[in-house]
């Protein structure tokens, strides 16, 4: 998807690639590549496994009015894969430059799905 477009237009799309490191989920350490798109206040994420994960997932969420957090749902594609709720706190927001949100530089993410809770991850912008 590419580099953060740095858009200052609240209706324009902002895209970036992040790396996900998940240290706490069923005792498994995993990593993935995330392609994130922000359009208005809607966040869409496509997760592709790098290590530890076995399937791709999609996340959809809503970014808060102050651009500091996101919450929503996710679903993974493999049979018997997880789906559920997720939330993230965004750090490293750019300052100045219009009404739109940026994607920041780091997301602290937590997700819970059937059979698990408290799966924690750090998403870091490439």
Domain ranges of the chain: 13-125
- pLDDT score for 7: 40
Global pTM reads 0.82
Q: For the chain, state the CA radius of gyration.
A: 14
Task: Find the angle CA(90)-CA(96)-CA(100) to the nearest 5 degrees.
Answer: 60
Per-residue pLDDT of the chain (126 residues; tens, 9 = 90+): 344 444 444 457 899 999 999 876 767 788 999 999 999 899 999 999 898 777 899 999 999 988 999 999 999 887 667 788 999 999 987 654 556 788 999 999 998 876 666 788 899 999
Return the half-sphere exposure (C-beta side, CA atoms, 13 A cut-off) of residue 41.
12
* Range 13-125: architecture per CATH: Beta Barrel (2.40)
């Amino acid at each position: 998807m590419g580099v953060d477009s740095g858009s200052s237009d609240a209706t324009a799309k902002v895209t970036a690639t992040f790396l996900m490191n998940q240290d706490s989920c069923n005792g498994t350490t995993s990593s993935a590549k995330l392609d994130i798109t922000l359009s208005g206040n809607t966040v869409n994420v496509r997760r592709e496994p790098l290590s530890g994960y076995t399937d791709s997932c999609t996340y959809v969420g809503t970014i808060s009015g102050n651009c500091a957090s996101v919450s929503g749902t996710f679903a993974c594609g493999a049979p018997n894969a997880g789906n559920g709720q997720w939330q993230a706190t965004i750090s490293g927001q750019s300052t100045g430059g219009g009404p739109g949100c940026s994607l920041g530089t780091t997301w602290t993410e937590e997700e819970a799905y059937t059979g698990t809770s408290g799966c924690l991850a750090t998403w870091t912008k490439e």
